[in-house]
Amino acid sequence: MTATVEVECAAHAERLELEAATDRLVDSLFPGTDEPAGRYHFLTTVIEQRPAFRQALLDGDETGVQREWQQAVGDHASDSGFLHGLAVLHRERALDSSSRGALDEHSWMVGTALWVLLLSCESFWVSFWSLRAGGLDRDELLGECLQTTLSIHGTLGKRAFAAGHSDRARIHLRCLDVTRAGETALLAALEENGVACSLATDPRRLARASAVAASLIDEWCRGLLREAKRAAEDSEAIQALPEGIRLNYEGGIGELQAFLDLDVPDRAVLSGALHWYNDWCYDLYVKKEVDLIGDTMRPARMVADRLAPLCTRVQGFLPENKALSQHFLLRGFTSDDPEAAIEEYKQALAWDETNTNAEELLQGQAHQVLLGQLHTAIECSEKGQWDEAYGSLGRIEARM
C-alpha cells in the first residue's frame, strides 16, 4: 500500500512539474496568457521528451529556454500535429491582441503562414477533412477554411486602414501578400519569426490559397481606386485648380499614397498613381509650365521604380506598361543630359514599342548628339588635336 502511494505521489509530482514547466513556456511564448496548461498538451509532450528543456524552464533560465525551444521547433518542423498546435495558438493570440487594439505581427504572420501550409499538406489535410467534413467534399471544405483563414485580413485590414491605423493595416496586408506570393515567401516569413517548417505540400492547394489571397488584395485595391477616382474627379476641387489642370491629381494620388506607404507593392495601385502623374505632367506641358514638370516627376519616379519590377516588358499592351513607357519618355524629356535622355527614351520603347512619341524623341535626340560629336571632331581636327578628333569619330561610329 505504501509503495502504491509513493508511486501515485511521484506521478502527481511529475504532472505538477510538467504543468509548471508548460505554464512557464506558454508565458515565455505568449506573455499574459492565463489559460491552463492542459490547453497546451502538445507543448507538455515536447517538454517531457527534452529533460534539458524542462530543467531550463523550472530554473527560469531564459537563455536556455530559448535555445531549447528553437531546437524543439527544428526537430518538429515536419510534425503536422505540433505545427497545428502552434498555428492554433498563434491565431488565437493574434485575435485576442486585435480585440484589445494591440499590434502582434508575429502571431498574425506565424498563424496565417502555418495554417496555409497545413491546409496544403496532404497528411494533415486527410485527418483534418475526415474530422470536419460535415457533408462537405474536400474542395468545398478547403475553400471554406481558406476563406476563414484569410478573409479576416481583408476585413480587419480595410477597417484599420479606413480608421488611419496604418500599422495594423500593414500587418494584415503583409499576411495576404506573403500568401499571394506562395510557398517560398511563406517559409521565409516563418523563418524570420523563428519557426521551422518542412511540410510536404500540394502545389495545387497552395495555388488555391494564393488565389484567395490575391482576390482579397484585389478587392481591397479596387475599393481604394474607386475612392481615389472620386477624389480626382471631384468637381469642386477641380474648379479650384489652375486653368488647364483637368483633374484633381493631387487629391487622387493622395488617396493612394496612404496605401503605398504600407510598403506592400500592388500593381494596380502603383499603375493608377503613375497614370495620374503622367497626365499631370502632360497638362503642365500644354500650359507651357515645363519647369514644374520636374517637381512632379520626383515622386512619380519613386512610384515607377516600385512598379517596374512587378511588370513584364514584352506586354506593352497592358495599362501599367503604357504608364511606365510614358513615364520614361517624361524622364528623357526633362533630362539635362542628352546621353541620359537617349537611354530614357529607349526604356520608354522597351516598355511599349508602339510609343511613337518616344521613337520620335529618341531619333531627334540621337541626331542632335551625333551632330554635336561631329562638330567636336571637326573643331579638334582644325586645331590639330587628332586624338580627340578620332575619339569623337569613334563615338559617332559606335552610335551609328
Tens of pLDDT, residue by residue over 252-285, are 999 999 999 998 889 999 999 999 999 999 899 8
> Does 11 reside within a domain?
yes
Between 228 and 57, name the one with better pLDDT. Answer: 228
Residue 9 — very low, low, confident or very high, per pLDDT cuts 50/70/90? Answer: low
Q: At what angle do helices 105-119 and 138-162 cross, to 10 degrees?
A: 160
The residue range of the domain holding 190 is: 2-217
Q: Which residues are 121's β-sheet partners?
A: 201
Q: Tell me the three cell numbers of residue 183.
A: 510557398
Report the run of H or E that residue 4 belongs to, with start and end.
helix 2-29
Residue written as grid cell 588635336? 385
What is the C-alpha separation between 242 and 286, in angstroms, rounded? 13
Closest CA to 118 of 157, 84, 164, 79: 84
| 287 and 244 Cβ atoms separated by less than 8 Å | yes
3-state helix, strand, coil in the chain (%, to 5): 80, 0, 20
Residue 54 scores a pLDDT above 50: yes
Residue 32 — very low, low, confident or very high, per pLDDT cuts 50/70/90? Answer: low
| Strand positions, DSSP E, 184-263 | none
Q: Which residues are 201's β-sheet partners?
A: 121
pTM to 2 decimals? 0.81
What is the C-alpha separation between 366 and 342, in angstroms, rounded? 7
> Does 331 reside within a domain?
no
Q: What are phi and psi of 176, to 5 degrees?
A: -70, -40
Q: How many CA atoms lie within 13 A of 342 on its CB side?
A: 11
> Does 47 reside within a domain?
yes
Closest CA to 208 of 154, 151, 146: 146
**Residue type for 128, please?**
F
| 172 and 108 Cβ atoms separated by less than 8 Å | yes
| 153 and 176 Cβ atoms separated by less than 8 Å | yes
User: What's the pLDDT score for residue 377?
Assistant: 44
User: What's the pLDDT score for residue 256?
Assistant: 94
Buried residues in 320-329 as b, exposed as e (16+ CB within 10 A): bbbbbbbbbb
> Does 384 reside within a domain?
no
Residue 3 — very low, low, confident or very high, per pLDDT cuts 50/70/90? Answer: low
What is the C-alpha separation between 272 and 286, in angstroms, rounded? 21
Average pLDDT of the residues of the chain:
83
Closest CA to 202 of 135, 142, 276, 274: 142
18-27, 183-192, 329-338: which is most confident: 183-192
Q: What is the pLDDT of residues 119-176, one digit of tens each?
A: 998 888 777 766 665 656 778 888 888 999 999 999 999 999 999 999 999 999 999 9
Q: ∠125-131-136 over CA atoms, to 5°?
A: 80
User: What's the pLDDT score for residue 177?
Assistant: 96
> Does 247 reside within a domain?
no
User: What's the pLDDT score for residue 97?
Assistant: 85
3-state SS assignment for residue 349: helix
> Does 89 reside within a domain?
yes
Q: Tell me the three cell numbers of residue 247.
A: 483633374
Report the run of H or E that residue 329 belongs to, with start and end.
helix 319-333
Q: Residue 318, class by beta-carbon neighbours within 10 Å (0-12 exposed, 13-18 middle, 19+ buried)?
A: middle
User: What's the pLDDT score for residue 373?
Assistant: 47
> Does 59 reside within a domain?
yes
Residue 216 — very low, low, confident or very high, per pLDDT cuts 50/70/90? Answer: very high
Tell me how many domains the chain contains: 1
> Does 46 reside within a domain?
yes
| 332 and 361 Cβ atoms separated by less than 8 Å | yes
Q: What is the pLDDT of residues 346-366, one digit of tens each?
A: 898 899 988 887 777 767 554
User: What's the pLDDT score for residue 170?
Assistant: 95
